[in-house]
Amino acid sequence: MNITVNKSLPLKGSIEIPADKSITHRAFMFASLTKGKVKVTNYSKGADCLSTLKIIEQLGCKIEILNDKELIIDATNALKEPSSPLDCGNSGTTTRLMMGILASQNFDSELFGDASLSKRPMKRVIAPLEEMGANFNHNDFKLPLKINGSELNGIEYNSPLASAQVKSCILLAGLNAKGTTKFTEPYKSRNHTELMFEYMGADIKVENNSVIVNKSQLKPCDITVCGDISSAAFFMVAALIVPDSDIIIKNVGINETRAGIIEVLKAMNGNIKLLNERIISGEKVADIQVKYSQLKATTIEGAIIPTLIDEIPVIAVAATQANGTTIIKNAQDLRNKEADRITAVKVELQKLGADIEETADGFIINGKKDLIGNTTIECYHDHRIAMSAYVAGLICKKPIEINEFQWVDISFPEFLDLMKAISTYK
């Protein structure tokens, strides 16, 4: 599906953002470990999360859809050997976290994915899992791979990078391993796993950038999933750069390990306010008001990077409209996403007229440049590249076309409808 994006009138009104994908993945997977029933409310219906749901069903969970917002996962007779290979679709989160769960089971399993996922590296989780005693057959550390269920032992692992996927994988393996598992990372990555483990009664302790877990059984607890700040990011940037915009995004998770984009956009002089702050299922939540702003450049690096890694493509769009030069460093992990997001963002924003330079681990963006448009954008089978391009198209002088925009459905099938809801076109 190719779409055309035209220059936008002011964005106005309020929207409720869909459920957080990271928390939904964990709610589904962790429910499968409880040996009981868990009701999940406000779950993500993106293709990635549905891949996770399908896999736990193959592993013996019974899924009952109550309505458009609620389902029940009955894990009384899970986990058990699947009768066929497990399809992770395009989801790296599904793949890496399920590897942590499946490595310690008393059965064998196989994971595979689509062409894009099959190119993504899995060594970062395979290596520490093998230290714990896991046994894999793989294709140069890529999918498809076979997991030979093994008895695992706890380890102390010092991760060279801050990664919530790697951390969650090892902690999940540690839940069913002998002894103690300790995971240490250079910066604190998103901590949804730690919060949900605590909420569900795991034997877990957090010490600065280290997490310690002992073998324990998760308890069945109902989970309400808050809105996804990664999805909200596109609307935040759109409102900041489309003149005279003023929107409210409701029910957004503002977990400190995910809310780096708020900190950065405020540092760029973004007019952003948090309203109605509250706690839902252990996660901080707020409504976010965003108004059009005269942005200024900033430098983004170091410990904040893991808190906004997925939002960097759309932050780059904001930087094109900021006075001065924005520098983004320490974001080399962007090269290991659905696409090489550093090269993809540079190439596509240059097409629009942006002054952006690619570095080994980020960007140099000279801002306050008019985006011309009148071109066709490629999305590289990457939902975040597609949506970032859409936001850029809202301020282009001439229309742009985005090829294969259907990739957005992987994470955010509601995207276009919500954009239309705040549009002031007659």
Distance CA 13, CA 349 (A): 28
Distance CA 133, CA 155 (A): 10
CA 332 to chain centre: 16
**HEC letters along 378-426:** CCCCCHHHHHHHHHHHCCCCCCEEECCHHHHHHCCCCHHHHHHHCCCCC
246 is catalytic: no
Beta-strand relationship, 246-253 and 283-291:
antiparallel
The neighbouring-strand residues paired with 288 are 249, 274
Phi, psi of 235 (to 5 degrees): -75, -35
Could you give the C-alpha distances from 250 to 17, 55, 238, 254, in angstroms and in order? 6, 31, 16, 11
Distance CA 422, CA 14 (A): 7
320's enclosing H/E stretch is: none
**Candidate list 310, 333, 340, 370, residue with the active-site label:** 310
Distance CA 286, CA 270 (A): 17
Distance CA 154, CA 178 (A): 6
The tokens describing 209, both together, are: 């950038």
Quickly list DSSP for 130-171: HHTT-EEEEETTEEEEEEE----B--EEE-SS--HHHHHHHH
Active centre residues (catalytic): 310
